[in-house]
Every structure is written in C-alpha cells, then in structure tokens.
Amino acid sequence: MLPNLLLILTLLTTSITPLANPPIPGNGQQVAAGYLLLTPKTASQKLKLLAKNAATLPINRVVLSFVAPTMVYVPGSKTLKYADIGYTGGWGLWKYSIARLGKVRISGRFSSMGTERLRDVRLRISGVMCPSKLKTWKVAQAQVVKGAKGAAVKWHPEFIGGAAVKDGAGGRDPYVDLVYLAKDLGLDGVDLDYEEIWHADTFRAGTGLGPFTLDQTVYKYTAICYDIVNAIKKIYPKCKFATAAGAAGAWQGKFWGGNLKGLWYFVNLWYPDVIKFMSTGKNAGGINVMTYDVSANNAYFECPSGSTSDCDLAGQVKFYMNTYEKAGIPARVGYEVGQPAYPDPYSDAGDQLPLTQVGLTGILDGVPSANTLGGFFWELYKPKNSAHRGHWAAE
C-alpha cells in the first residue's frame, strides 16, 4: 500500500513520436488514485466502507465526486446542509443535493481513518457554470483574453445549449467557493471535471462538415481554471489543483466535433501557466486522462491510429498517452473498473473495451510507469456483473 491517502471531493490517422525526455507529473509523486461516486442514496454507505477499508486499500488518493457547479457555500460554515452542494451525474445536468444527508462535516466523518492516512484531501467539481457578473470571473476572463492566440474571444454563459443561467444566490462564485470549502474542511486540493462536448460542438468555428476549431471552448475551460488558480493563490496557497482530461485532449490535428480533441493541447500552447500549475510544483494535483472512454467501433473512426490492429484497450491507451507526452503535458493514465460507461452499454456493448488482466498488462507494458508515476481508476465501488452487461457492472 502506498503511504498516504488523498481524498478529493469533487468538481484520424496520425503518427505519434514520444519525446526523448518525457515530462514527469507533479514533483515525482507516485499516485494510485480512486474516484468515489456519491449520490444521496449511496453516499453514507460508500463513505463508511471507505473509512472501514482505508488501511488496506492499495491507493493513496481518493476522489469524492461531484460538487455541482451551482453550489453556493458560505465561508466558515463548515456544513453542507445549506451549501447547495450536489452531484451532477455523468454527462447530464442532474443534481442531487447532498444536503439531504443532514449536517455533514467531512473532516469529522473521516476522523476514524487517522491523520496519517488523510494527509492529502481534495474537492471535485463538474465545471460548466459561468458566473459572468462577478469580479472574480471577470478577472479570469481578462487573463484569457490577454493570452488568446486563436479566434477572437466570445463568451457564452449558457449552462446547456441555448439556455441562459443566472448567477447563483448571493452572487457567489462556485469556483471560489470550491476553494473556500476545501480550506474550511481541511482538504488538500480540488479537482475539475470538464466534459462539455456540447459547448465545443455548438460554438465551433468552421463550415460544412468541417474540420473545425474549438477555440471558444479552450477559452471557457481556461477561464474556469484561472478562476480556481486565482482563488487558491488568494485563499488557500497550499491547495492542490487537478483536472480530468479527455483521451483525445492532447491530440494535434483536425477537429471534427463530437469530442474535445486538442482542448488541453491548445490550453498548454496558449496558457502554459495553467497546465504547469496543475502538473508541476507544489500545487500540482495532476492531469488525469480518461483513457477508459474509448470504443472499438471503427465505423465511426474510433480507432485513433486508423487501424483496427491496435484498437484494443492497451493500443488506444498507448496512443493517447503518447499524444500527451508529445505535447509536453505531464499526465496520468485512467482506468475504469467494470463495465465502461462509453460506448453505451445498451446500444453498443459489443464495442466496449472493459479492463481485463490482459489489457492491464498491455497498458503497463506500453506506457512506461516512469512517465506517468501511477494512475487513477473510476470508480471504487460498483455492483458485480461478470458478464459485462447492465449499467455500471463490475468485472
């Protein structure tokens, strides 16, 4: 077992050549992380199981997901009851208020685990909200505009395609509140999950069937990051900052829509200070690549090399991690336990690539551990289903 336990509550054909001296994630710290998905129905049981098994779990980081981007937290309150904190499920916009659990003090709930195994703690937010009228957000926007090297910046404060959203109650900035909450609960970091494919598709630039550019989505994601970075520097300087990144996020080349291809490549190219803050130095929480969201359905160009010969899970993970290495972005491999969420287990189960022992061996052989210094998996608890059928089955 690795020594420290980290808790985080959460927010086509291309040749890839690895770098001779690949970037190494965050200060050389080895990480074995597990994400824990919480809902009002499962949170209490999962947290108790986590506390009970903390001493023997072969991980040193736990990510508690998700904090909703609609959150409002009053600094100093140390309670979730009136904080409007919740979970946004999957790619949807569902929101389940953790407030139903009553007054919850995260630090107290985990006290039985011991401080030795609780030294690194973070909050995760599924980030999509734009608090457009607030000063903190405007400062982040100005930073983005100053560094913009693509198309002219155009802000779209929509929460979902075509719908406008008002700023939260009391004029609170959810990304600033995220940092306040992490500090008040004695947590060690925050984690940003950004998967707004709809935003990239809706506000892309280009004509006809493409290719397109996703500059506006690069700007929005970066603004959210700057908002969090600024809050960390002002409120909680030792707070770590991590992000989940799409498998194709560092892949150079043409963007055809339907994913976030190249998003992190361009963030690193135009705003390298943002990537550096998350991936190296004292605030590095890491760039966690969701290399489990892959499919074998090459009828829709899912095989990244263009060939089905290396379209298995290990081949795709190697391809995508090499794109991060080539882009100079320190990153860690993501694994999914049990049945993958993508492609859809009901309509396209035959093209799913679940993690098996053979696949794991192939990944470990194909992606040098010296480059990634560990990885993370989604998620800690799933119901068992050895046939790989049924939603969220476990292998």
Whether pLDDT at 88 is above 50: no
Whether pLDDT at 85 is above 90: no
Whether pLDDT at 243 is above 80: yes
Share of the chain above pLDDT 70, in %: 73
E-only strand ranges, the chain: 6-9, 31-37, 61-65, 86-87, 96-97, 120-126, 189-193, 240-246, 284-290, 333-336, 374-378
**In-domain check, residue 388:** no
pTM, whole model, 2 decimals? 0.84
Alpha carbon 42 to its chain centroid, in Å, reads: 21
pLDDT at 162: 55
Burial of 300 (0-12, 13-18, 19+ CB in 10 A): exposed
Distance CA 21, CA 204 (A): 34
**In-domain check, residue 39:** yes
Most confidently modeled of 16-30, 110-124, 194-208, 360-374?
194-208
Mean pLDDT of 176-183: 90
pLDDT at 64: 76
Which residues touch 388 (CB under 8 Å, ≥6 apart)?
Answer: 338, 339, 345, 349, 352, 354, 395
Burial of 68 (0-12, 13-18, 19+ CB in 10 A): buried
pLDDT at 115: 27
**In-domain check, residue 384:** no
Whether pLDDT at 318 is above 70: yes
Whether pLDDT at 72 is above 80: no
Share of the chain above pLDDT 90, in %: 46
**In-domain check, residue 79:** yes
**With bands split at pLDDT 50, 70 and 90, how would you rate the model's confidence at 385?**
low
pLDDT at 180: 92
pLDDT at 63: 82
Least confident piece of the model among 62-76, 188-202, 312-326? 62-76
pLDDT at 153: 98
**In-domain check, residue 392:** no
**In-domain check, residue 387:** no
State the CATH number of the domain containing residue 18.
3.20.20.80
What range defines the domain where residue 364 resides? Answer: 6-378
**In-domain check, residue 214:** yes
Q: What is the pLDDT of residues 351-379, one digit of tens each?
A: 999 999 999 999 999 998 777 878 998 88
- Count of structural domains, the chain: 1
**In-domain check, residue 395:** no
